[in-house]
Chains A and B, each alone.
Chain A
């Protein structure tokens, strides 16, 4: 029924205007000099040069990537076993657990991050717990650990849900078959479960890494005013410094890095899938 294809037309126009044009504008700003009037733009690479020739900016970028990587690893370490446990429970418990994990993600992220301030602050529950356990007085708020904690807290549900959904799609008779063919539990996990859950793992990594790199409210709320990640740097350029062109250039750099990483991840996924099909 060809008539229905016209239904997509308005959206194509909308997407070009609201999704593609903004990206082009960022690119335009990043390659032009100061000033907001696009009529009088002059091409320049100075913003990119400024970023790449300054070791302090580069250090901010690498620190952001490193903390996002740490977050992703921690989420994977916590999320995989949890998802595995859920997928092995009976259906009723499975539904309850999935609901329990989903509910917090429905509550606004800033609200949830703010909730940690009381727990972590001076004289708060975590500090008292530390003293009680004999660990001494732990200064937690406004440290990198607090930022890491905030990120894992906010993003680990995505990891669990993604891995769980791909584990649930797995046919349980595959494991029986593996056992029949003489594989022990560990082997069956390595040869069957792990490869089959890989798409979920990869989706989970994407859903955690992406927001972790660019987050700027978690560092600001839990890391304090002098904790600067790439997201804070961009915010700062737009909101307080007024250097929109430089800010746009940093955004472009970030978008390109993310795109390259995504392409890489997709490649790992497809080669792996190809490999497991052959084997």
Chain B
């Protein structure tokens, strides 16, 4: 090769390496950022690392990722190697049948494997959690180990083991002293593939996990909607751990080589790798041990909460854990519908925090237990507007958590309040704001605005009216190029990325507290007055502790922390007034105090049939939006 010919190649290589590493380096740099932004570096700080260390969720995700990866690697390497040796001596038919079976997870898209395993665990009623995640990882790792060990085994002299046994070795000795050392390179590369696959996996883990067990992938996926630089810190930790272990694996043989004769090298590598894995495993468990809090007198109990993501004050759970000594497991859902599916499939939680209409549904399907009011004395502190609502008129089953309205958040430098007042929801069809609007990915509230814009009740059961609402939304997404978002809207509107968006009042309050130019408007066509509340499902494992938690959340301290941090309206009267008062965090922010007493405002009722229609139509709106875009 002439030198000159290699220049384009070098450029390409350089560009590729830059392409591979630029995002990683960018992420590492921004993990040390003082501010919250992902684009402006405002100074060096370790605060996101502190944040990460304090976040139990993140530390547990790190632990889950690596402990599962190490266990799955060890198990699948041993099982895979032994099976490969066995298969090499089996009949051809059997060998080929197993090869075909192994091809299933290799050749199928991950999502198909994931769904298959999920259906398997559900059909056989294996409770989803750490164990199912580990089983699933072992299941998809073994085929890769066999794939990499098999050629090595088959290239061995078939008489090798017999020769060893003729010389007096037991079958076990023949296996470990003769066969295994010969195939070590295959075993090591198989183990490496298994480890990579396990650390990298998201899709399969996502579908087979339960009980709030999450690995890093699941955490990033569920937390990525709002800017959270701690994710950068965790990711940097992963990069460091992986780089260190890679260095270890690459350097160990080199170091050992200097000390041992060549003939024994392979075995040494094998033992070195096993040793490294064992040390890592112990390290992980010690690390986990460090996470475990010391036991207090009446503890060891567990409270499982299932609630929307980013919906709780930072200190609420730590303080509660400190107070009671119990351990709290929180799991997050994106939508009430997602929550319902899990709970209806028998997953047990102690506390759920769904919305009004969903509570009505859960009550009607006898999935909730009545509360023991005497255990929730703090409910006296709650504001009248949040109590006795139609979904649970006597609050027999529920204690309000947050309440509010749905409205339009707008950039007052681009849209005037007068224009909004004049047009109401129809402003979302005004091409003046094409590509400048957000819709919220909630089937109910999207249909609510469409129905209200058309002058109908949001609780209509007329298919005709729902169809018209669908057309309204479809024309909004196709002609207006609307983006359908969930919680991303909070940071994006706070940065003023678009002129208009549909938000919940609490998010509106947060956005307005971050950016003075933003306003919140409740259209005159009426809106949804909603309330999210805490309930205890019938299959709760620890209802006593659940009552304790409810009582605690009604208290001034917890309610203050909660509402101050999240921005949603507190049902605790004193907290609500204090936060809205002149010294309060949300002083003068109208979104914090929802409109009350307006005749066109409604709250949702549950209706199984319209729910299904709306759900299908909303899926179609999103598909139409996606198909029309770009």
Interface residues as binary, A106-139 with B (CB distance below 8 Å gives 1, 0 otherwise): 1111111011111101111100000000000000
Interface residues as binary, A179-212 with B (CB distance below 8 Å gives 1, 0 otherwise): 0000000000000000000000000001000110
Q: Is the interface of B mostly helix, strand, loop or mixed?
A: helix
Q: Is the CB of B334 closer than 8 A to any CB of chain A?
A: yes
The list of the 3 closest CB pairs from A to B, nearest first, reads A22-B116, A7-B86, A8-B86
Contact B484 A1 (CB under 8 A): no
Contact B39 A144 (CB under 8 A): no
Tell me the complex Cα distance, A81–B30, Å. 33
Tell me the complex Cα distance, A60–B626, Å. 8
Number of residues from A at the complex interface, CB < 8 A: 103
Given A119-B26, A254-B109, the answer on whether A8 and B119 have CB atoms closer than 8 Å is no
Partner pick for B85 among A4, A210, A227, CB 8 A cutoff: A4
Q: Which residues of B contact A264 (CB under 8 A)?
A: none
Tell me the complex Cα distance, A123–B116, Å. 42
**Contacting residues of chain B (1-51) with chain A, CB-CB under 8 angstroms:** 1, 6, 8-10, 12-13, 16-17, 19-24, 26-27, 30, 38-40
Given A6-B86, A26-B116, A211-B110, the answer on whether A11 and B626 have CB atoms closer than 8 Å is no
Tell me the complex Cα distance, A9–B97, Å. 12
Q: Which residues of B contact A78 (CB under 8 A)?
A: 12, 16
Interface residues as binary, B188-212 with A (CB distance below 8 Å gives 1, 0 otherwise): 0000000010011011000100000
Tell me the complex Cα distance, A85–B200, Å. 28
Known: A4-B171, A5-B89, A63-B626. 17 other contacts (CB 8 A): A1-B89, A5-B90, A8-B90, A11-B86, A12-B94, A16-B101, A25-B120, A63-B627, A85-B6, A103-B242, A103-B243, A108-B220, A112-B24, A115-B27, A221-B221, A227-B626, A262-B107
Contact A85 B85 (CB under 8 A): no
Contact B30 A109 (CB under 8 A): no
Q: How far is the CB of B19 from chain A (nearest CB, A)?
A: 7
Q: Is the CB of A31 closer than 8 A to any CB of chain B?
A: no
User: Nearest B residue to A216 by beta-carbon distance?
Assistant: B111
Interface residues as binary, B477-495 with A (CB distance below 8 Å gives 1, 0 otherwise): 1000011111010001001
Q: Which residues of A contact B87 (CB under 8 A)?
A: 5, 8, 11
Contact B199 A106 (CB under 8 A): yes
Tell me the complex Cα distance, A254–B10, Å. 39
Contact B488 A225 (CB under 8 A): yes
Contact B109 A214 (CB under 8 A): yes
Partner pick for A111 among B238, B477, B482, B627, CB 8 A cutoff: B238
Q: How many A-B residue pairs have CB under 8 A?
A: 308
Contact A15 B337 (CB under 8 A): no
Q: Which residues of A contact B250 (CB under 8 A)?
A: 99
Tell me the complex Cα distance, A119–B492, Å. 15
Given A25-B116, A85-B13, the answer on whether A239 and B338 have CB atoms closer than 8 Å is yes
Q: Is the CB of B113 closer than 8 A to any CB of chain A?
A: yes
Q: Is the interface of A mostly helix, strand, loop or mixed?
A: helix
Given A84-B9, A85-B9, A153-B19, the answer on whether A123 and B39 have CB atoms closer than 8 Å is yes
A contact set with B: CB distance below 8 Å: 1-12, 14-16, 18-23, 25-26, 29, 36, 38, 56-57, 59-60, 63, 78, 81-82, 84-86, 88, 97, 99-101, 103-112, 114-119, 121-125, 142-144, 153, 156-157, 160, 206, 210-211, 213-214, 216-217, 220-221, 224-228, 231, 233-236, 238-242, 244, 247-248, 251, 254-255, 258-259, 262
Number of residues from B at the complex interface, CB < 8 A: 117
Q: Is the CB of B622 closer than 8 A to any CB of chain A?
A: yes
Q: Which residues of B contact A10 (CB under 8 A)?
A: 79, 83
Contact B101 A224 (CB under 8 A): no
Q: How far is the CB of A248 from chain B (nearest CB, A)?
A: 7
Tell me the complex Cα distance, A59–B120, Å. 30
